[in-house]
Structure 1
Amino acid sequence: MARAKDSNQRARGSVETLPSGALRAKVYAGIDPISGKRHYLTRTVPAGPDAEDEVAKALTSLQNDVDEQRNPRTKATVSQLLDRYLNVTNVDPATMRGFMGYYKGHIKPLLGDTQVGKIDAHVLDSFYAELRRCRFHCDGRKRVDHWTGKRHECKPLAQSTIRRIHFLLSGAFKRAMRWGWITSNPATTAEPPPEPQPNPQPPTPQEAARILTEAGDDPDWATLIWLAMTTGARRGELCALHWRNVDLTTDTISVQRSIDQDGAEIREKDTKSHQHRRIALDPATTVVMTEHKTRCEERATTLGVTLDPDGYVFSLDPDGSTPMKPDTVTQRYRRLAERIGIATTFHKLRHYSATELIAAGVDARTVGGRLGHSGGGSTTLRTYSAWVAESDQRAASTLAGRMPARPSASVNPVERAKINPRAPYEKIAVAIRRHILDGTLQPGDPAPTQKEIAEKHHTSLGTANRVVELLKAWKLVDTSRGRRAVVLEQSDDTAAQGASSPEGEDLDQTSSDLLDLRLIRFGETVREFTAEADPTNPDELRRLLTNAARRHGGKDSNYGEYELEIRRAGSNEIVSCFAAE
């Protein structure tokens, strides 16, 4: 019986004597799925007095591996695996370009010729250690890098990049298991570098103001940057924005597509998270987008073409037929930042939008929805909340209140206020200007003080101060230090302008005021905000109430549950309460 058993074992494997005297156990393990040839498992035992016993144990071990299907079923290399895996995996084109870069730049040079079956956790850990040592995989000897002409200095590959390489290998080994090439995934026991802590570095509000001012010479370019700041949209999403995605009647944009660029070639694709989203625009951004559309239409008409209603919002073509290239946006923004000495990138405008909203008290789920994050806000919290020190406090104003003043490339805002006053302080200043020009206030007369303006028009001292500063900019009053402001003598040209000035606001009242509003539901405050409106106009108040209720989650059917408590800005006295019918 024992002899028959030995015969069966020899039939399933063999022992060869090598020229060196070593013994090699060899067991048939099936057909290699890559080469189509017979696949054998081998193990070599050095020559010695116990060689025969050791080779017998090796032969039995190999046979058990085959019986229990623990053996690799191919001699395919890591390069062969990655070639097949990258050919069948379904990922975004930009992700695929990244994978190909990792494979050709790091995996293939260091692991490409190694058989898949010989990769284990130790091999992968050593591979990651090499990437941390030198991203160029130098041999440690002194040399000069030909692309810089300088002495080579070893620089580690970023931890986040090594982790992405690990995930690429893990996915490839997992697919190899499905194909029957290997029986276990070595990447599951390897240890990649820890995930780096999120460190968004958005520009400060002061830097954002400088960026907008520098971009103001080109209104189209300034509009793109403004929209990136207020919406947090990705670069490719902004480039793919069509005019059909912009609804200026409902103050929203719809993000549905993105532009992918590979060299000089561009194409539209789905968004990064494969989700469509609608982003509400604040009033200032709606004005910016309205002016941008008017400007595009006028430019197209001047050049004898028609702006395509389905054209791109940001395009170098007058008809909007082609999108702006994402790489063009990146390069132009980098040059802008370098000119004004700010170390930042275009992507950090997305961080600016997120951190400003969180600092203003907006919940992470809402912020994540605007940014297009998946995970119901968890990604947003992980990325931004630890960075924003005031994330647990609800600020008194929203993002619109935190945005820097928008520069105007074509019209000086000081001069514009004379003929087209918009803000409450501008309307008050125009009314005082009219009284100076028509002689009601004579040269040398005391000008209204900040306190008098604030009491007369039910506004804050800050707004009254802006009125006086605007009058000073118009050279209508003198505010020398230590004395009360007085009316200045006006030239004939200035006096003549009074006839063409807008009617403005009467000194005794203004149609619209800056109001502090409190949205109340069932006796509880659910939202506080500031807006410019006429406290006696029910249509304006109804619009403010319904918009605020909608943002709180209210529906048309239950707007009657809400009411607005109305105060003038800076005052604690309630002017009135408004409830929707």
Structure 2
Amino acid sequence: MASIDRRSLKSGVTWRVRWRDEDGKQNAKHFPRKVDAQRFKTSVETDLHTGRYVSPAAGQVTFRAFYEQWSQHQLWETGTREGFDLVVKQAGFTDMPLGKIKRSHVEVWVKAMDTRKFAPQTIRNRLGWAGTIFRAAIADQHLAVDPSAGVRTPRLAPKSERMTIPTADEVRTLLEHSPAWFKPMIALGAFAGLRIGEVNGLQGSDVDFLRRTIKVNRQVQRRSNLPLEIRAPKYQSFRTISAPAGLLEILSQHMEQVGLYGDDGWFMPGRDGGPAWPRSVDYHWTRTREAAGLATKFHSLRHFYASGLIAAGCDVVTVQHALGHKSASVTLNVYSHLWETSEDTTRAAAQGLMDAVLSSGEDSLRTQGTS
């Protein structure tokens, strides 16, 4: 428990609040007014009781210093770590003590990113990473509240406007303008929904022509100047995809006419017996879409595949498993606008009732006319 005592100093009377923290260390703070001391005493006792107490010394650790210590123990992929590193490099509050960072400091940072014309989703992602660090500091009792909570970001356009889905004609054009050895890259994106790194990680043994399935067991990534990485799919999304006959035919022709590369049988040829380097894949993808006269991103082929599944009546869980999303909520968050709404279902049902009634009436009138 905390206590208050009156102290007379040369500078005047002060009120001292003393308390022991969770480690038994005694702390003290002085106030010129008793009412302020009483308010602080109540706050300290409440924080100690609820487990939200942050010692004055812990709050002096800077954002950067906490991140450098905390990040060493996180099980992150390279891309995730780079995202967090960007926050620490660019945010204006990273060298401030955690206990001194206010919501206004975070808002200034968000405003600066907006002024520099960062995409709204980029700003939202970076604010989310900063929030993760703040919440980790709270869990380690360096901070009492998250100063990024409630900070507004620029408005995102509706998903229907942000998402570009190529047409069937555009996908066909891409295939027509693709070099023969590169066709599986486009086909696996458009007709199996594989991410670009997953296509690059595909081996001949992953394709089962008898069962008509494709296993996604790995992806290939390379970040900055780091070596090539062959690792598990994003979000550990190992999955088996039911492949259409046409896609299997493209893969079969590739194996016969182009062949697989290296001892592991990579579909995309690289160097030294390994898979293609991501930079090389990006280069050939750019050349292919430019030859086709399109500005399509490779990830849009994944949207094309998802939209086809949804249009064919596949449910959320089926689409989730096919795309390798970590949860059905992720699938809904990305593609909910492509599913029929309850209004669409109601409208179609009502139209069905009308068609049944009116068609029956027409049959009745024709019967009467012939009697």
| Offset at residue 330 of structure 1 (A) | 2.1
Is the 1:77–1:115 Cα contact (8 Å) retained in structure 2? yes
Q: Name the residue aligned to 2:139.
A: 178
One-letter amino acid of the counterpart of residue 335, structure 2: Y
Map 1:497-576 → 2, pairs under 5 A: none
Q: Name the residue aligned to 1:572.
A: none
1:323 counterpart SS class: coil
Q: Name the residue aligned to 1:311.
A: 265
| Offset at residue 277 of structure 1 (A) | 0.7
| Offset at residue 115 of structure 1 (A) | 2.1
Q: Which runs of 5+ in 1 are unaligned?
A: 44-53, 136-154, 301-306, 394-581
Map 1:202-217 → 2, pairs under 5 A: 202-215=165-178
**1:200-229 per-position Cα deviation (integer Å, ceiling 9, x unaligned):** 2022111112111110xx211012211211
Q: Is 1:282 aligned to 2:239, yes or no? A: no
Would the alpha carbon gap of residues 181 and 364 (structure 1) be closer, same or farther in structure 2, given more than 3 Å must change? Answer: closer
**1:416-435 per-position Cα deviation (integer Å, ceiling 9, x unaligned):** xxxxxxxxxxxxxxxxxxxx
| Offset at residue 322 of structure 1 (A) | 0.4
One-letter amino acid of the counterpart of residue 334, structure 1: T
One-letter amino acid of the counterpart of residue 191, structure 2: T
| Offset at residue 337 of structure 1 (A) | 2.0
Q: Name the residue aligned to 1:355.
A: 307
**In terms of Rg, which structure is larger?**
1
Q: Name the residue aligned to 2:297.
A: 345
| Offset at residue 174 of structure 1 (A) | 1.8
Aligned equivalents of 1:16 and 1:208: distance in 2?
84
One-letter amino acid of the counterpart of residue 116, structure 1: L
Would the alpha carbon gap of residues 363 and 177 (structure 1) be closer, same or farther in structure 2, given more than 3 Å must change? Answer: closer
Would the alpha carbon gap of residues 247 and 26 (structure 1) be closer, same or farther in structure 2, given more than 3 Å must change? Answer: farther
Aligned equivalents of 1:39 and 1:207: distance in 2?
69
Q: Is 1:121 aligned to 2:103, yes or no? A: yes
Q: Is 1:383 aligned to 2:346, yes or no? A: no
Is the 2:204–2:266 Cα contact (8 Å) retained in structure 1? yes
Aligned equivalents of 1:201 and 1:237: distance in 2?
21
Question: What RMSD over aligned residues (CA atoms) do the two structures have, in Å?
Answer: 3.5
Aligned equivalents of 1:311 and 1:193: distance in 2?
46
Would the alpha carbon gap of residues 332 and 296 (structure 1) be closer, same or farther in structure 2, given more than 3 Å must change? Answer: closer
Aligned equivalents of 2:142 and 2:9: distance in 1?
25
Counterpart selection for 1:87 from 72, 75, 92: 72
Aligned equivalents of 1:15 and 1:275: distance in 2?
67
| Offset at residue 272 of structure 1 (A) | 1.1
Q: Name the residue aligned to 2:324.
A: 372
Would the alpha carbon gap of residues 72 and 160 (structure 1) be closer, same or farther in structure 2, given more than 3 Å must change? Answer: farther
Would the alpha carbon gap of residues 342 and 41 (structure 1) be closer, same or farther in structure 2, given more than 3 Å must change? Answer: farther
Q: Name the residue aligned to 1:328.
A: 280
Aligned equivalents of 2:188 and 2:289: distance in 1?
17
Q: Name the residue aligned to 1:430.
A: none
TM-score, normalising length: structure 1: 0.50
TM-score, normalising length: structure 2: 0.76
Q: Which has the higher contact order (CA 8 A, sep 6+)?
A: 2
Would the alpha carbon gap of residues 39 and 257 (structure 1) be closer, same or farther in structure 2, given more than 3 Å must change? Answer: farther
**1:109-148 per-position Cα deviation (integer Å, ceiling 9, x unaligned):** x11232211223344334323332x23xxxxxxxxxxxxx
Aligned residue pairs total: 330
Aligned equivalents of 1:131 and 1:206: distance in 2?
38
Counterpart selection for 1:100 from 78, 82, 85: 85
Aligned equivalents of 1:121 and 1:158: distance in 2?
21
Q: Name the residue aligned to 2:62.
A: 77
Q: Which runs of 5+ in 2 are unaligned?
A: 48-52, 346-371
Would the alpha carbon gap of residues 374 and 340 (structure 1) be closer, same or farther in structure 2, given more than 3 Å must change? Answer: same
| Offset at residue 24 of structure 1 (A) | 9.3
| Offset at residue 253 of structure 1 (A) | 0.9
1:166 counterpart SS class: helix
One-letter amino acid of the counterpart of residue 337, structure 1: R
| Offset at residue 384 of structure 1 (A) | 2.5
One-letter amino acid of the counterpart of residue 258, structure 1: Q
| Offset at residue 246 of structure 1 (A) | 1.3
**1:40-74 per-position Cα deviation (integer Å, ceiling 9, x unaligned):** 7677xxxxxxxxxx445444444544444455533
Q: What fraction of aligned residue pairs are identical, expressed as a percent?
A: 24
Q: Name the residue aligned to 1:197.
A: 158
Is the 1:367–1:380 Cα contact (8 Å) retained in structure 2? yes
Q: Is 1:219 aligned to 2:180, yes or no? A: yes
Is the 1:359–1:390 Cα contact (8 Å) retained in structure 2? no
The structure with the greater share of residues assigned to strand is 1
Aligned equivalents of 1:237 and 1:38: distance in 2?
57
Is the 2:6–2:16 Cα contact (8 Å) retained in structure 1? no
Is the 2:87–2:130 Cα contact (8 Å) retained in structure 1? no
| Offset at residue 91 of structure 1 (A) | 2.1
| Offset at residue 38 of structure 1 (A) | 10
1:254 counterpart SS class: strand
Is the 1:72–1:183 Cα contact (8 Å) retained in structure 2? no
Would the alpha carbon gap of residues 221 and 162 (structure 1) be closer, same or farther in structure 2, given more than 3 Å must change? Answer: same
Counterpart selection for 1:263 from 224, 239, 246: 224
Aligned equivalents of 1:274 and 1:390: distance in 2?
31
**1:236-272 per-position Cα deviation (integer Å, ceiling 9, x unaligned):** 1111112221112211110011112123521111111
Aligned equivalents of 1:15 and 1:338: distance in 2?
79
Would the alpha carbon gap of residues 228 and 71 (structure 1) be closer, same or farther in structure 2, given more than 3 Å must change? Answer: closer
Would the alpha carbon gap of residues 288 and 16 (structure 1) be closer, same or farther in structure 2, given more than 3 Å must change? Answer: farther
One-letter amino acid of the counterpart of residue 386, structure 1: H
